[in-house]
Amino acid sequence: FTITGRIDDVLNVSGHRMGTMEIESALVAHEKVAEAAVVGRPDDVTGEAIVAFVVLKGARPTG
């Protein structure tokens, strides 16, 4: 993945600072996950919401 537009790799969700790499590492640790990318998006309740893009092992491209 190549995701552009983030100045840093820290999300602030409900006052909790979380690194995108930590979340991605946790996702990739799952036996069925090949790749993961995490970004934040504005959220009215939490300030920022976590959005994860995941590619499963053995997944075939569609389209």
pLDDT, residue 59, reads: 78
pLDDT, residue 19, reads: 92
**pTM for the predicted model, two decimal places:** 0.77
Q: Is 61 among the domain residues?
A: no
pLDDT, residue 62, reads: 77
* C-alpha span between 23 and 37 (Å, rounded): 9
Q: Is 44 among the domain residues?
A: yes
48: CATH: 3.30.300.30
Percent composition of the chain: helix, strand, coil (DSSP 3-state, to 5): 15, 45, 40
* C-alpha span between 55 and 3 (Å, rounded): 15
Domain count, the chain: 1
Note down pLDDT in tens along the chain; length 63 residues: 555 655 678 998 999 999 999 999 999 999 999 999 999 999 999 999 999 999 999 978 776
* C-alpha span between 30 and 47 (Å, rounded): 28
- Direct distance between the N- and C-terminal alpha carbons of the chain, in angstroms, rounded to an integer: 18
